[in-house]
C-alpha cells in the first residue's frame, strides 16, 4: 500500500493549515541542510537551503516559532566540530535576511529554553541531529524529548523521507500523539505532486532515462518504469552491466557482476522498450581525458573504461525526450565531473529543459544529476518551465517512483 497517491488524501499539508494554528506555536521543521562545506567551513552550495526558504517564510509569516533541524554528513552519533551546522545558520541568516539563532546542542533543556525565549516569527537552528546516537536508530525517547518542546511538525526534507530516523519518523508520530499536526512542507508538497504527476498519471508518451552505477538498488524502479514507459534508456555506468549481460566486452569499466543475471532478465522482460547506448566515450582512466575516444559499443577493448554515452546515443535520447509527454530522468549519463565526459549528460539535459519549456512533464532526480544540471546552467530554465521539476531526493525519489512507501511520509497526519 502506498503512503501517498493521487487517488488517496495523502498527508496533511502546510498550505492547508489554518494560519491561526501557527500563531505563537512552536513548529519543528525537519529540513535537509546536508550541504557541502568549503575548506574554510563556509557553505559551498546553498541550493538545498534555498529550496526550503518558502516553507520557512510561510511559518514565520504565520507567527510560528520555527525550530529547524537537520543532519549534516555522517558523524556516527557523536559530535564532530567539522560537521557542525553553525555555518548553515550563517548561510540561512543571509538568505532569509533576518536573524537565525543557533542552538549549540541538538537536544536537552537548552533547546526548550531557547524556544521559550523566542518571539513569534523567530527562526532557530539546532545543531546536527546526527550528533545523537538515537537519530539513526529512530529512537522514540529522543523523539519524545523533541516533541515536548513543540506544538506541530513540518517535513521539508524529501531527500531523507526514505529513512526512518528519529527526526523524520519517530518525531512526527510523537507530535501527533500529543495532538499536534505533522504535515508536509511546501517543498515536499511540490515533490510529491511532481512525482505523482509523472509516474502515476503521465502524459504519453512516457520516456524514462536512468544513469548512475549500480542496478541493485534500482531493480524495482527499472521494472516499474519498463511496465509504464514507452521507452526506458539505461546509461551511465549501469549500462556496462547490461552490456555484460548481452555478451559485450566491458574492458575495465565499472560493472556490477552480481546483477548481470538480473540485467539479462530485465532485458528479456522489457524487450524493445529498454534501450542501451549504441556508442560510448572511453578512456584509459575516468579520472583523465587523456586518450579519450568514441567507439561503438561492440568495439570496446579489454583496456577501455566507459566514461560517457557517445554522441549518437545522446542524440537518440534527446530526440525521444524531445517528443515525449512525460520525462523521468535519474542519474547522469557519464562521469560529468570531468569535462571530457559530460557531453552526453549535458545534451540530454538541454533536451529535457526544452521539453519542460514546451509543457512536457519533466522530473529530474538525484543529487549528482541535479549538480550536473546546475553545472550546465539549466536550473533556471527548469524552474521557470511550467512543468519542470528538479527533485531534491536521491533514494527517496527512486523509492517513490518504484512504488515503495516512504516512512517519513507515512508518519505525517493524514489529509482530510
Q: What one-character DSSP code corresponds to residue 91? A: H
Query: In the structure grid, which three cell numbers stand for residue 278, read together?
Result: 549504441
Q: Could you say which of 48, 51, 58, 130 is catalytic?
A: 48
User: Cβ(411)–Cβ(172) under 8 Å?
Assistant: yes
Q: Could you say which of 2, 57, 200, 214 is catalytic?
A: 214
Query: In the structure grid, which three cell numbers stand for residue 136, read together?
Result: 539513526
Residues of the chain with pLDDT under 70: 1-8
Residues 81-135 have pLDDT tens digits of 999 999 999 999 999 999 999 999 999 999 999 999 999 999 999 999 999 999 9
Phi/psi for 208 (5° steps) reads: -115, 140
CA end-to-end span of the chain, whole Å? Answer: 19
| H or E element in which residue 57 lies | helix 47-61
Q: Which pTM value belongs to this model?
A: 0.89
Q: Is 214 one of the catalytic residues?
A: yes
Around Cβ 398, how many Cβ atoms within 10 Å? 22
> Distance between CA atoms of 254 and 311, rounded to whole angstroms?
20
Q: Report the sign of the C-alpha dihedral through residues 90, 92, 97, 101, in that order.
A: negative
Q: Is 223 one of the catalytic residues?
A: no
List, in order of start, the domains of the chain with CATH numbers: 14-187 (3.40.50.1260), 202-401 (3.40.50.1260)
User: Cβ(120)–Cβ(96) under 8 Å?
Assistant: no
User: Cβ(322)–Cβ(270) under 8 Å?
Assistant: no
Q: What is the pLDDT of residue 8?
A: 59
Q: Could you say which of 223, 395, 403, 405 is catalytic?
A: 395
Spatial CB neighbours of 170, under 8 Å, sequence gap ≥ 6? 138, 139, 140, 142, 143, 164, 411
Q: Could you say which of 90, 367, 403, 405 is catalytic?
A: 367
Q: What is the pLDDT of residue 404?
A: 82
Q: What is the pLDDT of residue 1?
A: 29
Q: What is the pLDDT of residue 212?
A: 82
The CA–CA distances, whole Å, from 78 to 74, 106, 281 equal 9, 11, 43
Amino acid at each position: 500500500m502506498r503512503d501517498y497517491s493521487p487517488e488517496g488524501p495523502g498527508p496533511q499539508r502546510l498550505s492547508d493549515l489554518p494560519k491561526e494554528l501557527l500563531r505563537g506555536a512552536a513548529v519543528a521543521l525537519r529540513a535537509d541542510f546536508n550541504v557541502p562545506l568549503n575548506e574554510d567551513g563556509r557553505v559551498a552550495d546553498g541550493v538545498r537551503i534555498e529550496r526550503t526558504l518558502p516553507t520557512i517564510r510561510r511559518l514565520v509569516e504565520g507567527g510560528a516559532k520555527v525550530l529547524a533541524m537537520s543532519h549534516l554528513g555522517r558523524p556516527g552519533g557523536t559530535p564532530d566540530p567539522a560537521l557542525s551546522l553553525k555555518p548553515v545558520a550563517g548561510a540561512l541568516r543571509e538568505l532569509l535576511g533576518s536573524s537565525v539563532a543557533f542552538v549549540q546542542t541538538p537536544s536537552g533543556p537548552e533547546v526548550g529554553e531557547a524556544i521559550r525565549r523566542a518571539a513569534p516569527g523567530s527562526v532557530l537552528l539546532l545543531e546536527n541531529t546526527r550528533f545523537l546516537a538515537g537519530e539513526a536508530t529512530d529512537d522514540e525517547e529522543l523523539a519524545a524529548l523533541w516533541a515536548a518542546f513543540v506544538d506541530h511538525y513540518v517535513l521539508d526534507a524529501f531527500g531523507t523521507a526514505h529513512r526512518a530516523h528519529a527526526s523524520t519518523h519517530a518525531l512526527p508520530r510523537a507530535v501527533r500523539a500529543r495532538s499536534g499536526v505533522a504535515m508536509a512542507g511546501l517543498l515536499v508538497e511540490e515533490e510529491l505532486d511532481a512525482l505523482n504527476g509523472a509516474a502515476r498519471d503521465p502524459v504519453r508518451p512516457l520516456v524514462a532515462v536512468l544513469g548512475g552505477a549500480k542496478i541493485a538498488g534500482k531493480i524495482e524502479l527499472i521494472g516499474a518504469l519498463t511496465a509504464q514507459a514507452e521507452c526506458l534508456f539505461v546509461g551511465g555506468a549501469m549500462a556496462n552491466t547490461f552490456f555484460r549481460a548481452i555478451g559485450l566486452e566491458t574492458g575495465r569499466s565499472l560493472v556490477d557482476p552480481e546483477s548481470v543475471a538480473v540485467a539479462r532478465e530485465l532485458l528479456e522482460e522489457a524487450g524493445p522498450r529498454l534501450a542501451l547506448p549504441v556508442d560510448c566515450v572511453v578512456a584509459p582512466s575516468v579520472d583523465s581525458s587523456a586518450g579519450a575516444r568514441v567507439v561503438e559499443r561492440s568495439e570496446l577493448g579489454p583496456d577501455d573504461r566507459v566514461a560517457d554515452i557517445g554522441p549518437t546515443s545522446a542524440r537518440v535520447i534527446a530526440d525521444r525526450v524531445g517528443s515525449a509527454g512525460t520525462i523521468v530522468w535519474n542519474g547522469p549519463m557519464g562521469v560529468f565531473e570531468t569535462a571530457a565526459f559530460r557531453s552526453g549528460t549535458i545534451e540530454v539535459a538541454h533536451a529535457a529543459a526544452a521539453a519542460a519549456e514546451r509543457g512536457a512533464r519533466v522530473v529530474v532526480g538525484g543529487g549528482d544529476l541535479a549538480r550536473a544540471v546546475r553545472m550546465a546552467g539549466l536550473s533556471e530554465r527548469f524552474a521557470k518551465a511550467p512543468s519542470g521539476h528538479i527533485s531534491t531526493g536521491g533514494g527517496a525519489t527512486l523509492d517513490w517512483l518504484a512504488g515503495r512507501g516512504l516512512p517519513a511520509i507515512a508518519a505525517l497526519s493524514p489529509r482530510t
